[in-house]
Structure 1
Amino acid sequence: MPTLTDRRYRARISASHDDLKAAQRLRALTFGTGGADGLDRDAFDEICTHILIEECRSGQLVCCFRMLPLKGGADIGQSYSAQFYELSALARFEGPMVEIGRFCVHPDWRDPDILRAAWGAMTRYVDDHGVEMLFGCSSFHGTDADSYLDAFAMLKERHLAPRRWLPRVKAPMVFRFAQTLRLRKPDARLAMLRMPPLLRTYLMMGGWVSDHAVVDPEMGTLHVFTGVEIRAIPATRKRLLRAVAQ
């Protein structure tokens, strides 16, 4: 993937150990998970492609995420998400897949164009490598599910995974929102206010989620497994994404 640049931000693949450390430092700042060296890192970093979004004028790193390519669903057990979700249903998926992980935006930067730059980079990678599914864990800040009941109720009502791909429970602590909130009608305004921006974008592309959220005390989050089948993305949305990816 070549460097992508718009008027203010550029997206590029990590090219050095220093680039990777910069991403790990931003992740630690954003997630509050750094070790004594101030870096957030794990074994998956060595096998992933890391994308950096930088402000052009200053060169400051404002966003990063990593991508783990898989040949198909048979390799799903190698993913980060497989630690938390039972994903045997997705083992039948035949096309190339990419797991998106550790997505974060610098807490001092609120520009929505940062997210556009990130999606432009993802779109270019998907097109260049013939990817047929994106997936990962979409996180809600904190572990108090009561703060997000309308958001979870909307996920239950409109965005559950197709039964053929539905992830099953594996983690020891989960919030089974589809079951618990089966009679709750969501307040759409409150639901969208509480929906994480990255997940909101996945849903606009036709994405779907697991029927439960994992409670992750280490990261201090609730997260749902999220999948986007590329062929299911609405045509108008694809055109917009590809325009950003030029």
Structure 2
Amino acid sequence: MAVLLCKGRYRARLAQSPRDVADAQKLRTLAFGTGQTDQDAFDPVCAHILVEDTQAGHRLVCCFRMLTMRDGTEIGRSYSAQYYDLSALEGFDGRMVEMGRFCIHPDWKDPDILRVAWGAMTAYIDQNGIEMLFGCSSFAGTETDDYLDAFAILKHRHLAPKRWLPRVKAPDVFRFASRLRRRPDAKKAMLRMPPLLRTYLMMGGWVSDHAVVDRHMNTLHVFTGLEIGAIPPARKRLLRAVAG
């Protein structure tokens, strides 16, 4: 069993069998509320990370998947490339990994689950020599009015560097960087920010200048990137302490 880490009551490990992947798909179906089983053509080519509660019969409480690429020339085969023009990132000269389908069981509210997930992600990144982590960070629902302060703070503080900025590809997008003129209420913004995206931003992550309206998944999502070398040293030590 490829265990990445054990912390407290939680264990994070790599999926080892089709049954493990099927369990992850069941959890995703429950968490995303898509009705039919959440599975796609990316599942067979990804590594799947499972976080289990060892005090609840090793119940699966969190999962996500990782798609590794040798450098930016392979970014066109990512899940995100279906929704964003990522041609600017084709010049990234380093190993990359796309993190996707992140979810936590709706009945589990322990914040340690997210910490363990990030610790497992850190272990995976270190073991595979990854230099950039990226993916789509989702807001629940497709109504932008609920998240205007969050989008405004993304515009003012967290837009991607111009050299990596994704361009519009999806037919239905919210161009928050060009449309919003409001001064964000930082407290309201962080309350409405998805926990996963909030953690990305704390690590120095950045986002696209527009959100994709995904009606199939009933989400708004922004492309999110994190250059591993740019993570503040104190944050990196904290992550590696969890991962270790």
Please tell me the TM-score bracket, short chain as reference: over 0.9
* 5+ long unaligned stretches in structure 2: none
> For residues 86-126 of structure 1, what are the alpha-carbon distances to aligned partners after superposition, in whole Å with 9 as ceiling and x for unaligned?
00000000100000000000001110000011001110011
Paired letter, 1:212: H
Residues 91-240 of structure 1: pairs in structure 2 closer than 5 A: 91-181=90-180, 183-240=181-238
Q: Deviations over 1:167-215 (max 9, x none)?
A: 000000000000111x211000000000000000000000000000000
Aligned length: 242
**Contact 1:25 1:34 (8 Å CA) reproduced:** no
TM-score w.r.t. length of structure 1:
0.97
SS of equivalent to 1:43: coil
> 1:44 maps to which residue?
42
Report the Cα distance in structure 2 between the residues aligned to 1:243 and 1:104, rounded to whole angstroms. 23
Aligned equivalents of 1:226 and 1:174: distance in 2?
Answer: 15
Letter aligned with residue 27 of structure 1: R
The equivalent residue for 1:28 is: 29
Matched residue type, 2:32: F
- Which consecutive segments of 4 or more residues in structure 1 shift more than 6 A? none
Q: CA RMSD in A?
A: 0.7
Alignment deviations for residues 29-78 of structure 1 (CA, whole Å, 9 cap, x no partner):
0111242xxx2100000000000000012210000000000000000000
Letter paired with 1:177: F
Q: Distance in 1 between matches of 2:222 and 2:235?
A: 23
Tell whether the 8 Å contact from 2:173 to 2:211 is kept in structure 1 after alignment.
yes
For 1:126, the aligned partner's letter is I
On the 8 A contact 2:4/2:123 being kept in 1, the answer is no
Q: Separation in 1 of the partners of 2:18 and 2:127? A: 24
Deviation at 1:4, TM superposition (A): 1.0
- Per-residue displacement from partner, 1:5-28 (whole Å, max 9, x unpaired)? 111100000011111110000000
What is the alpha-carbon distance in structure 2 between the residues aligned to residue 4 and residue 56 of structure 1?
12
Partner Cα separation in structure 2 for residue 109 and residue 8 of structure 1:
13
In structure 2, C-alpha distance between the alignment counterparts of 1:7 and 1:150, rounded to whole Å: 36
Letter in 2 for 1:167: P
Q: Distance in 2 between matches of 1:29 and 1:123?
A: 26
1:85 is matched with: 84
Unaligned runs of 5+ in 1: none
**Cα 1:159–1:85 shift into 2, 3 Å:** same
Deviation of 1:137 after TM superposition, in Å, equals 0.1
- Alpha-carbon distance in 2 for matches of 1:6, 1:148: 33
Helix, strand or coil for the counterpart of 1:102? strand
Q: Separation in 2 of the partners of 1:239 and 1:47? A: 31
Does structure 2 conserve the Cα–Cα contact (< 8 Å) formed by 1:63 and 1:114? yes
* Residue equivalent to 2:54: 56
Q: Superposed, which structure 2 residues align to 1:14-25 within 5 Å?
A: 14-25=15-26
Q: Shift in Å at residue 83 of structure 1?
A: 0.1
Q: Distance in 2 between matches of 1:81 and 1:95?
A: 18
Give 1:3 shift. 3.5
**Tell me, what secondary structure is at the counterpart of 1:3?**
strand
